[in-house]
Chains A and B, each alone.
Chain A
Amino acid sequence: MSEWEPKIAAFLCNWCSYGAADLAGVSRLQYPPNIRVIRIPCTGRMSPKFILSAFRNGADGVWVSG
């Protein structure tokens, strides 16, 4: 790859942001392909451990969205 592209772990709430992500698809809105979505049932499920683990496993960024 010529230019470095970050890998971002995205923890998306099943009911909110995951739905928005689906809708973005339906609307064919284009966005950067760097996020890797992990669907969680609710942002309440988030634990700081997940965030640290993501960094530990080489994610360049973490995005939590409810």
Chain B
Amino acid sequence: MITFKLNGKEVQGEEGQYILQVAEKYGVEIPTMCHHKALEPAGMCRLCTVEMFDGRRSRFVTACNYPIWEGMQIFTDTEEVHKGRKLIVEMLLARCPEVPMLQDLAKKYGIEKSRFKAEDDDCILCGLCVRMCQRMGNNAIELTGRGIEMVVDTPFHVQTDFCVACGACASVCPTGHITLEKINQNVTSRKNVRKIPSEYDMGLKGRKPIFVPYAQAVPNTPAIDRDTCMHFKTGGCKVCTEFCGVNAIKHDMEDEILELDVGSIILATGFEPFDPSKFDNYGYAKHPNVVTAMEFERILSASGPTMGHLVRSSDHKEPKKIAWFQCVGSRDINRCDNAHCSSVCCMYAIKESIIAKEHSGDDLDCAVFYMDIRTHGKDFERYYERAKTQGVRFVRSRVHTINPVPETDDLEVRYVLDSGELVKETFDMIVLSIGLQTPPELIQLANDLNIDLTTGNFCKTDTFSPVQTSREGIFVCGAFQGPKDIPQSVVDSSAAASAAGEMLSPARNTLTKIKEVVPEVNVIGERPRIGVFVCNCGINIGGVVNVPGVRDYAKTLPYVEYVTDNMYTCSQDTQEVMKDIITKNRLNRIVVAACSPKTHEPLFRETLADTGLNKYLFEMTNIRNQNSWVHKNNPDIATQKAKDLVRMAVTKVALKEPLPEAELSIGQTAMVIGGGITGMSTALSFARQGYETHLIENTDRLGGNALTLYKTWKGENIQEKLKGLIDQVSREENLKIHLNTTLASVEGFVGNFKSTLASQGKEDVIEYGVAVIATGASEFKPVEYMYGKDPRIVTSQELDRKLIGNDPVLNSLNTAVFIQCVGSREPERPYCSRVCCTHSVDSALELKRRNPGMNVYILNRDIRTYGERETLYKEAREAGIIFIRFTRENKPVVAIEDGVVKVKVTDHILGMPLEIETDLVNLASAVIPPRDEKLAQFFKVPLNDDGFFVERHAKLGPSEFATDGVFLAGLAHYPKPIDESIAQGMAAASRAVTLLAQKTIHTNGEIAKVNPALCSSCGVCISICPYKAPSFIPDDARFFPGKAEINPALCKGCGLCVASCRSGAIGLKGFDNDQIFAMIEAI
């Protein structure tokens, strides 16, 4: 250790350190230009000149490369030093008058114009590039020549292969003398220095060889890309190790091969977006303003390459007209091999057009060119209608070619309308709605695993076991099973977990470790002893906010006993240090000033619990996401704000009390309501995972709608399969079937439900922990098209009944007409029933098979044979089935004239009315839910306008309710075919088992609590609570009869009742009035 004086103050440094390093450690600023932390100092620019007194005399030395020695005295701020630096800047400015960095520096030193003769160089010969090139292990450039002839150049001016075009020299050049473009032009004629395209931003932005894939990545840790990292090319560099404060970078880490023993495998491998560059006619590779939908998503994203500003790539102009082309790489076997419909593109294109309008204003012209609009998901049809009212144009046409408009970056398209009219239109930007496909490496994986694929290269599954691959023990979910959207993928993934769980249930909990619970320390009545931990988050906070300043400020606040700052407060070793600090200093309230409590509060609460402190004696304040990141350019104000935020948190935490969490046991029994295919699948899944299950069916037999369905679109015989399923259900030991039974009452809450079952005059009470609503839906009885007037006019299920019964009528048919969207996609029922298109196409093909000479027409508004069902549509067209489109405004008319059934429709191509005499009219009728308000009331779950139940989250929680312990599956959620119903049934069971398997759960401590002494029994809280948590204490209770109380198992801690309580009797623990007032006072 060497001790010397820096500006009169005694400081210490290690042997061999330079003055600059020690000064930096003590926060003394010395300006530099040719210095780089990772490179050996060279003392080239001399800007870091300081004054040194060696005991006898003063002289000037460069701080960056002058080693420290015992007893020396350094002055960094004297007038002489400033004079010297000013002269250096003045001379450099004369050499390079146009370099912005030097101009700024000159301004700082008060130099208006250099007194020396101006030259027009832009290199200051700092040598950073040369040293960096050396460090990279390349030595491709050198300072050549002497004196005034000195330049940065390759040896002997010869280009050699030593330069690997890494661009490191350009990255450190302070003046812009070296840029990537110049290297490309002059230095490396054979290689190209390029930005590394960011995978996440679809190549619209560059990234570094060390990168975090995207801001929300989990784990949020940077990785090194070995293909682009210089160290792995030359063995040099390792610059990153100099900057990592915690020495986390290890270049010698190697890939490990792990062998795992597993009982089952789930393939959730996803899809790859179709690459449209092979389509010359769209010119995706040529025209920068033709983008894929994935690229467009990034352009719209606030974290994307344009920060959410909708501008086109070529000139950063805001587009006025954008077109979407649907089915690029889908429904196309001519230009690519994808026969399937990708299922998601219609909806995402509509979404992108609406969001584009939100970004750019309503005058943005959005046009979607499509073949059929397929908005068959829950609430999607409404969204489509909304897009139309917002002015998004939907043009039914497949555009053949995109032509650039000469001398502009605009794009011209020509298309033909249904009427035959040819239209020419120019757009600023074109988005290709690219499809989903299975990548080649996944096909290889499927081969290696020996599992079967469909003709479209998706994983082959059976309708009745939708997540089971052809190989036992291997399951599939998501887009590898078939192209699908998020909710369906989430359903699948839960179903796959359930399927694996059924197999592995004997092994459940055999590999779990039980965490030791530290007994809680009683702190009630103690004076608050607050510990404040301020996080630097590397440089995320520390780079903007003066963290030591905030830390020292926190020390001055009342009750604060301990303060510190950490490099990364959330790191594992810091948790250990924190625990030590808490115990040693007997802290009883903790504040962490760091990132967001939404992500990190649970971690710190656990750390508190590990020391025996109640986890609610904690407050987190957000000085990163809501401070340092958003006030980057205002370090002083950001520091002040951080202090304010810490003060508010400290004031609040002092008032925090330890909160108890009630432990609830979860009844290990499940109840499934509805004995259709969905309910049976759910019940079976529960029973196979070892849970006692009650299956409630209100009719006298199991099977539901499936009893009247003929075949699946894959050709499976539904009646046979249904019989097999009923057999399995009946044989299952843990499963009790209640036929002719309805639910008479529901009491209780998650884990502890109790119901009365009414069955033919008898009543039975059962207790259960979880419930699944699988009550289904039914076929709408049509009110138009002469339904009911003639036996030849039937619904889809009625036709299926004839097919099942092999009705002889079917053999004598010459003509059949299918009419789609009967009762669906209407103003009073604005949803698509999802199943009818496939059903009609399938039935039409069946009729055609029975009688090939027959004429079959399908009158439709759009054909929605999504996913691989598209192949069925193609088969139907090839079989000669005629598809005629109509609109809601111009529907077909069914008439019976002289005993003949006639269907009149306007042909969409010819524009001419057409009259079909037919022997059969099949009305593809809507799926309508029973709108079971009683059941909804029983379980406190919502119904939507259409009468379907509303799930917890449309995308991420499709099989569960917001109410804990209640789950949802099948048609009660939304119309869906059998495979999706079964998957959702299994998914509901899977979600429920995650609760059941815990056996006990802890309620949230931050909930409302009534002070019964103040309660006036007005009942406002009971009526206002969305979770039905408050209730009156029964009149016969011993204490406080008639007063309100709150069930901690149901309370979500929203505080609605607290704000509404006129008597001020309700408090919200953790966010109580005094705590919030304290924060307000501390503002």
Interface size on A, residues (CB 8 A): 36
Q: Which of B307, B598, B645 has the most CB of A within 10 A?
A: B598
Q: Which residues of A contact B1083 (CB under 8 A)?
A: 7, 9, 36, 54, 57-59
User: What residues on B are CB-neighbors of A63 within 8 Å?
Assistant: none
| Chain B residues near A46 (CB-CB < 8 A) | 1059
Per DSSP, chain A at the interface is mixed
Question: Which residues of B are in contact with A by a Cβ distance under 8 Å?
Answer: 215-216, 302-303, 307-308, 596-599, 622, 624-627, 629-634, 637-638, 641, 644-645, 648, 1006, 1053-1056, 1058-1060, 1068, 1071, 1073, 1076-1077, 1079-1081, 1083
Beyond the given pairs A36-B1083, A41-B1054, 18 more chain A to chain B contacts, judged by CB atoms under 8 angstroms and listed by A's residue number, are: A24-B302, A24-B630, A26-B303, A26-B629, A28-B630, A29-B630, A33-B631, A33-B634, A33-B638, A40-B1076, A41-B1053, A42-B1055, A45-B1056, A45-B1068, A47-B1073, A50-B1077, A53-B1077, A53-B1081
In the complex, the answer to whether B302 meets A27 with C-beta atoms within 8 Å is yes
The answer to whether A29 and B302 touch across the interface, beta carbons within 8 angstroms, is yes
A-B residue pair count with CB separations less than 8 angstroms: 116
Interface residues of A in 1-55 (CB under 8 A from B): 5, 7, 9, 14, 18-19, 21-31, 33, 36-42, 44-47, 49-50, 53-54
A26: which B residues are within 8 A, CB to CB? 215-216, 303, 625, 629
**B1068 CB to closest chain A CB, in angstroms?**
6
A31 to B158, CA, bound (A): 51
**Residues of A near any B CB (own CB < 8 A):** 5, 7, 9, 14, 18-19, 21-31, 33, 36-42, 44-47, 49-50, 53-54, 57-59
Contact A30 B631 (CB under 8 A): yes
Report chain B residues within 8 Å CB of A29. Answer: 302, 307, 630
- Check A41–B637 contact: CB distance below 8 A: no
Q: List 12 A-B contacts (CB under 8 A).
A: A25-B622, A25-B624, A30-B632, A33-B638, A41-B1055, A42-B1054, A45-B1055, A45-B1058, A45-B1068, A47-B1058, A53-B1081, A57-B1080
Q: Which A residues touch B302, using CB under 8 A?
A: 23-24, 27, 29
State in angstroms the CA–CA spacing of A50 and B1059 once bound together.
Answer: 10
Please state if A40 and B622 are interface contacts (CB–CB under 8 Å). no
Chain B residues contacting A14 (CB-CB under 8 Å) are 598
CB distance from B398 to the nearest CB of A (A): 37
Residues of B within 8 A of A54 (CB): 1080, 1083
Least CB separation from B301: chain A residue: A27
With A42-B1055, A46-B1059 as contacts: A21 and B625 at CB distance below 8 Å: yes
Q: Which residues of chain A come closer than 8 Å to B644, judged between CB atoms?
A: 36
Decide: A22 and B1054 in contact? CB cutoff 8 A.
no
**A59 CA to B1068 CA, complexed, in Å:** 24
Scoring A7, A29, A58 by chain B CB atoms within 10 A of each residue's CB, the highest score goes to A29
With a cutoff of 8 Å between Cβ atoms, the chain B residues found around residue A21 in the complex are 622, 625-626
Q: From residue B319, how far is it (CB to closest CB) to chain A in Å? A: 22
Give chain A residues whose Cβ lies under 8 Å from the Cβ of B1079. Answer: 38
Top 10 nearest A-B pairs (CB, nearest first) are A45-B1055, A25-B625, A44-B1056, A42-B1054, A25-B629, A22-B625, A27-B303, A33-B631, A27-B302, A33-B637
Closest to A45 in B: B1055
Q: Which of B216, B625, B1071, B1073 has the most CB of A within 10 A?
A: B625
Q: Do A30 and B626 touch across chains, with their CB atoms under 8 A apart?
A: no
Q: Which residue of B lies closest to A42 (CB)?
A: B1054
B631 touches A40 (CB 8 A): no
Shortest beta-carbon distance from B640 to chain A in Å: 8
A12 nearest in chain B by CB position: B626
